[in-house]
């Protein structure tokens, strides 16, 4: 699983570098980087529709960038959960009314045992009426 994560990170970085270079070679409204180095005739080298093609390719690379970013986030979370295991059981702080946390609430359960159930302090505890 980690190998897949590292391969995905490498592909993501290559897409990032390609997208940066693709954006830099485009001629913007102000001339862009292409005209900064004397590349005024650069549009004729690739044809008259270069701006449209570069815009189209940039949109596709950006979509790939977004998909890889989401996939890396999900894959990284999964690898992190596999490495660290399930999260610890968080005890509920005792309220001002004197309610205390159940016994064993601050302890992590042994492997293979279910976590300790902690009641929700927001729900009122109903007690039978006194007779």
pLDDT digit string, tens, across residues 94-115: 444 555 555 555 566 667 776 6
CB 62 within 8 A of CB 20: no
92-109 as b/e: b if 16+ CB within 10 A: eeeeeeeeebeeeeeeee
pTM of the model: 0.51
CA atoms within 13 A on the CB side of 32: 16
pLDDT one-digit tens code per residue, 15-68: 999 999 999 988 766 555 656 666 555 555 555 556 678 889 999 999 999 999
From residue 124, how far is each of 2, 60, 90, 95, 104 by CA, in Å?
A: 46, 54, 21, 12, 22
- Domain boundaries along the sequence of the chain: 1-26+51-86
Contact 68, 15 (CB under 8 A): yes
Q: Is the pLDDT of residue 80 over 80?
A: yes
């Amino acid at each position: 699983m980690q190998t897949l994560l590292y391969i995905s990170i490498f592909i993501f970085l290559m897409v990032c570098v390609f997208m940066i270079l693709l954006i830099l070679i485009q001629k913007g409204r102000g001339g862009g980087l292409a005209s900064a180095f004397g590349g005024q005739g650069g549009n004729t080298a690739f044809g008259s529709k270069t701006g449209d093609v570069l815009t189209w390719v940039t949109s596709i690379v950006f979509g790939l960038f977004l998909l890889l970013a989401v996939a890396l986030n999900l894959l990284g979370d999964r690898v992190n959960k596999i490495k660290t295991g399930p999260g610890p059981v968080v005890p509920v702080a005792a309220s001002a009314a004197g309610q205390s946390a159940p016994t064993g609430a601050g302890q992590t359960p042994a492997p293979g045992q279910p976590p300790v159930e902690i009641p929700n302090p927001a729900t009122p505890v109903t007690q039978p009426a006194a007779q």
